[in-house]
């Protein structure tokens, strides 16, 4: 049975549900209500505008100075192309730094411009949002820049520690190689001297090397650790040989501080890698300070200095005796400087020019025949006070045997001749065996 009444109209068909309108993303102007902020927020922001403008102007000023400096550096380089510095790289760095300084300036100007339009804007909240977006971009840039600067500074600290040590090790290695090469040349020159009774003449290292290599020195290096040729000069030369020579390196800068002939009696240690390294007759005249012969620790009392001085005198005497064994005579030298050329480095590697008090050690060859062959020698120190105990010549004091003095007397002269002490502390008055 139907519910419809006969003659009644039919009901309308059901309608589908209405489709909702699409959801569209809201723009900044739609997402910000008309006035979301009050003047209690706007007023402090407006107060920052003068300071923001000042900082922006300063960043542009710094950027301009850097770019102008880059142009100036390039102009100076064009006027003087042999400055020896990477001008292009420095100019590029200045330009990059100038560009980096422009970026925060632009962001701050945008921020200040947005704040300036707040009063005239119908929707102040929108303007505040735009200003804060520029401020956010500025602080993001500042944060990233800070992290980069911290990293660069950290690397700079590491480089400041590592690079000098690396350079010092590199330069120190070159200095050591120089000393090694000079020792090899000196050994060859001494071997040449034994055969020819003199050193090879010449004013260049090539002349000396041709004379001693390969017979006396093998395949020697004629260059120092920096790759520069050694300086050589034969001194006091006769027709075929010279009685002395000077061998030198100009150091890292390859510039001699004085003429070779003037180095004959200099013995000061060098400081730095540009200083000269000089050898005369196998004896170091100027040597790197770290390699200069000296006591490992400073001697603090006269007793220790006296013992060290006696040790140095005996070392010279031992070398003189060894030389006499080979030549059947003692050196006719009349000073420590002079005998060093005869004994070092063949018989004594590091000749002690001074006693432990810093006074020169004296040497005299005497009892010499017409040919200069001496039968006696004396090596002496003036003691702590630096003054001789008697005005007589050393040869006279050797002849009369000055004798011993109390061990507590550190001013007493220390005199050694032909294998025994002539004047020394009483406990030491015995021949060296």
Mean pLDDT of all residues belonging to the chain: 80
Highest mean pLDDT: which range of 114-118, 241-245, 411-415: 411-415
> Distances in Å between the alpha carbon of 63 and those of 53, 95, 192, 251?
15, 8, 68, 43
- Tell me the C-alpha distance between 299 and 317, whole Å: 23
- Tell me the C-alpha distance between 18 and 11, whole Å: 20
Which run of H or of E encompasses 404?
strand 403-405
Average pLDDT on 206-210 reads: 90
pLDDT of 431 > 50? The answer is no
Structure tokens at 347: 């018989």
Which run of H or of E encompasses 421?
strand 420-425
> 277: which strand partners?
249
Structure tokens at 400: 């009369």
Cis peptide, bond prior to residue 287, ω within 30 of zero: no
* DSSP codes joined into one string, 88-129: HHHHHHHHHHHHHHHHHHHHHHHHHHHHHTTTT-S-HHHHHH
Structure tokens at 81: 């192309």
Nearest to 312 by CA among 381, 386, 408: 381
Structure tokens at 77: 């380089």
What does the pLDDT read at residue 295? 35
pLDDT of 114 > 90? The answer is no
pLDDT of 433 > 50? The answer is no
What does the pLDDT read at residue 297? 43
Q: State which fold the 302-428 domain adopts.
A: Glycoprotein, Type 4 Pilin (3.30.700)
pLDDT of 87 > 50? The answer is yes
- Tell me the C-alpha distance between 286 and 175, whole Å: 13
What does the pLDDT read at residue 303? 84
Instruction: Please state the φ and ψ torsions of residue 45, each to the nearest 5 degrees.
Output: -65, -40
Q: In this structure, what DSSP letter does residue 132 have?
A: H
Structure tokens at 85: 């510095």
- Tell me the C-alpha distance between 245 and 201, whole Å: 8
Average pLDDT on 180-187 reads: 88
**Nearest-10 Cα torsion for 299, 300, 305, 311:** -30
pLDDT of 395 > 50? The answer is yes
Which residue is listed with tokens 């922001």?
45
Nearest to 99 by CA among 70, 127, 73, 140: 70
- pLDDT confidence of 228, banded at 50, 70, 90? very high
* Angle at alpha carbon of residue 41, lines to 143 and 116, rounded to 5°: 75
**Nearest-10 Cα torsion for 64, 65, 67, 73:** 160
pLDDT, tens digit (0-9, with 9 covering 90-100), for 115-135:
888 777 777 778 888 888 888
Q: Which residues contact 314 (CB under 8 A, 6 or more apart)?
A: 416, 432
pLDDT, tens digit (0-9, with 9 covering 90-100), for 132-174:
888 888 888 888 888 887 887 788 788 778 777 777 778 888 8
pLDDT, tens digit (0-9, with 9 covering 90-100), for 36-79:
567 777 788 788 888 888 988 998 998 899 888 888 887 777 66
Question: Are β-strands 414-417 and 403-405 bridged in parallel, bridged antiparallel, or unpaired?
Answer: unpaired
Percent share of the chain, pLDDT over 70: 82
- Tell me the C-alpha distance between 365 and 341, whole Å: 14
What does the pLDDT read at residue 378? 93
- Tell me the C-alpha distance between 49 and 165, whole Å: 50
Neighbour count for residue 135 (Cβ, 10 Å): 19
Contacts 24+ apart (CB under 8 A), 49-55: 49/112, 49/115, 49/116, 52/108, 52/111, 52/112, 52/115, 53/108, 53/109, 53/112, 55/108
Q: State which fold the 182-291 domain adopts.
A: Glycoprotein, Type 4 Pilin (3.30.700)
pTM of the complete model beyond 0.85: no
* DSSP codes joined into one string, 220-261: ---B-TTSPBPEEEEEEE-SS-EEEEEEEE-TTTT--SS-GG
Which run of H or of E encompasses 222?
none
- Tell me the C-alpha distance between 281 and 299, whole Å: 29
Neighbour count for residue 182 (Cβ, 10 Å): 23
- Tell me the C-alpha distance between 432 and 53, whole Å: 90
In the chain, count of helices (H) and strands (E)? Answer: 9, 9
At 92 the three-state DSSP class reads helix
pLDDT of 379 > 90? The answer is yes
What does the pLDDT read at residue 296? 37
- pLDDT confidence of 414, banded at 50, 70, 90? very high
Structure tokens at 390: 């008697």
pLDDT, tens digit (0-9, with 9 covering 90-100), for 292-348:
433 334 445 788 888 889 888 988 998 898 888 888 889 888 888 888 888 887 888
- Which is more confident, 350 or 361? 361
pLDDT of 432 > 50? The answer is no
- Which is more confident, 122 or 398? 398
Instruction: Please state the φ and ψ torsions of residue 386, each to the nearest 5 degrees.
Output: 70, 15
């Amino acid at each position: 049975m139907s519910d419809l009444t006969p003659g009644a109209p039919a009901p309308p068909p059901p309608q589908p549900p209405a489709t909702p309108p699409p959801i569209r993303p809201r723009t900044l102007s739609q997402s910000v209500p008309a006035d979301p902020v009050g003047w209690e927020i706007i007023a402090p922001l407006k107060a920052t505008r003068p300071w923001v403008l000042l900082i922006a102007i300063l960043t542009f000023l710094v950027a301009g100075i850097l770019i102008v400096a880059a142009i100036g550096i390039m102009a100076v380089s064009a006027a003087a192309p042999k400055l020896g510095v990477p001008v292009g790289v420095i100019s590029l760095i200045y330009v990059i730094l100038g560009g980096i300084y422009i970026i925060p300036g632009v962001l701050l100007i945008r921020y200040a411009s947005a704040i300036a339009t707040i009063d005239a804007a119908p929707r102040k909240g929108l303007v505040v949002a735009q200003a804060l977006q520029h401020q956010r971009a500025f602080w993001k840039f500042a944060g990233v820049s800070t992290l980069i600067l911290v990293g660069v500074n950290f690397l700079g600290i590491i480089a400041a520690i590592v690079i000098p040590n690396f350079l010092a090790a590199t330069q120190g290695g070159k200095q050591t190689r120089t000393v090694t090469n000079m020792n090899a040349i000196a050994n060859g020159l001494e071997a040449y001297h034994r055969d020819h009774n003199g050193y090879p003449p010449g004013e260049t290292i090539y002349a000396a090397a041709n004379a001693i290599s390969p017979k006396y020195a093998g395949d020697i290096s004629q260059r120092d650790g920096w790759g520069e040729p050694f300086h050589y000069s034969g001194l006091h030369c006769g027709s075929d040989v010279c009685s002395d020579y000077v061998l030198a390196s100009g150091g890292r800068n390859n510039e001699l501080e004085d003429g070779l002939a003037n180095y004959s009696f200099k013995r000061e240690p060098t400081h730095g890698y540009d200083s000269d390294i000089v050898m005369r007759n196998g004896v170091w005249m100027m040597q790197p300070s770290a390699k200069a012969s000296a006591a490992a620790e400073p001697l603090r009392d006269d007793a220790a200095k006296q013992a060290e001085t006696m040790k140095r005198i005996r070392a010279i005497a031992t070398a003189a005796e060894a030389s006499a064994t080979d030549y059947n005579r003692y050196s006719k030298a009349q000073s420590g400087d002079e005998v060093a050329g005869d004994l070092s480095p063949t018989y004594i590697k590091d000749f002690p020019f001074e006693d432990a008090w810093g006074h020169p050690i004296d040497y005299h060859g005497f009892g010499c025949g017409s040919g200069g062959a001496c039968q006696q020698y004396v090596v002496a120190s003036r003691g702590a006070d630096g003054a001789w105990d008697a005005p007589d010549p050393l040869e006279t004091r050797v002849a009369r045997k000055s004798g011993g003095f109390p061990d507590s007397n550190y001013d007493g002269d220390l005199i050694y001749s032909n294998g025994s002490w002539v004047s020394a502390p009483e406990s030491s008055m015995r021949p060296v065996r």
